[in-house]
Amino acid sequence: MLSFNRRTKIYVYKEPTDMRESYDGLFYKAKKLLKKDPFSGHLFLFINKRRTSCKCLYYDGTGLVIVAKRLEEGLFSRINPLYKKEVVLTQAEFSLFFEGANLEKRFIESPIEIKKVARKLKALNL
């Protein structure tokens, strides 16, 4: 399992990611789309569309590291792409996510938002 210090943040890229992407593609998404420094020592989490696989990119002080996981059963929690705020997981949430726990309710702002999000996701066929 990955180990971090208390200051390590886990940033989630909300859009589905092609798991064929490697260092350069994930680095680009962290730097340009999330607008974060990939060399900061923070972890960047990317999830595929089917939610069966994820990749983590982080800099360990000597080089970029990619950790990939494919669930044999179940799905990773949906991180709603319509959630307006930046998604930053705590280390405990990341551990739960990595084990396949459901964190979907964490990324909905209110009951009214749930209805809006459900309609938009239905329109997008997600």
Instruction: State pLDDT tens for residues 9-45.
Output: 999 999 999 999 999 999 999 999 999 999 999 999 9
CA dist 41 and 60 (Å) reads 6
- What is the tens place of the pLDDT at every residue in 35-75? 999 999 999 999 999 999 999 999 999 999 999 999 999 99
pLDDT of res. 105? 67
As given in the structure block, the two tokens for residue 111 are 């009951």
Q: Using CA atoms, how far apart are residues 62 and 45, in angstroms rounded to an integer?
A: 20
- Which residue in this structure is represented by tokens 């705590």? 90
The secondary structure element, H or E, covering residue 56 is strand 53-59
Domain ranges of the chain: 10-123
Instruction: Measure Cα distances from 21 to 25, 28, 47, 58, 61 in Å.
Output: 5, 10, 11, 15, 22
C-alpha closest to that of 75 among 4, 126, 8 = 126
